[in-house]
Amino acid sequence: MATHRRFLVLAGRTAIAAVALAAALAVPGIEPAHADSASEYVIVIKDHRFQPSELTVPAGQRVKLVIDNRDPTPEEFESLDLRREKIVPGGSKATLWVGPLRPGEYGFVGEFNQASAKGKLIAK
């Protein structure tokens, strides 16, 4: 009887793990491992400005954005259009995945320096 209970507990745990994995894969923003094949683009933050301030990316493809903050202070990359925000500490980098995007323009700002840190992605 104890062996049967152990089997049922193990089978139950395995089923729970399988359901959790399936649910995680269905959640937007959690991507499979092959997503690394996407194109990578770097946006530098220097003197509280994005360089380049306009960046053209391919429409219909996932894109990896590397935000390289070369300022000594933190900046928050924020885009309502892309539905992304990320605080990037001074002197560090952060990675964001976007897309696939429809053709168009997608604005972004540096939340902590909105007067100077502005830019846009152009998907073509």
Task: Give dist(CA 49, CA 53) in Å, integer.
Answer: 8
Tokens of 103: 């053709």
Q: Are 53 and 118 in contact (CB under 8 A)?
A: yes
Provide the pLDDT confidence category of residue 13 given band limits of 50, 70 and 90. low
Cα distance between residue 35 and residue 112, in whole Å: 30
pLDDT digits (tens, 9 = 90+) for 29-78: 433 333 445 689 999 999 999 999 999 999 999 999 999 999 999 999 99
What is the pLDDT, as a whole number, of residue 39? 82
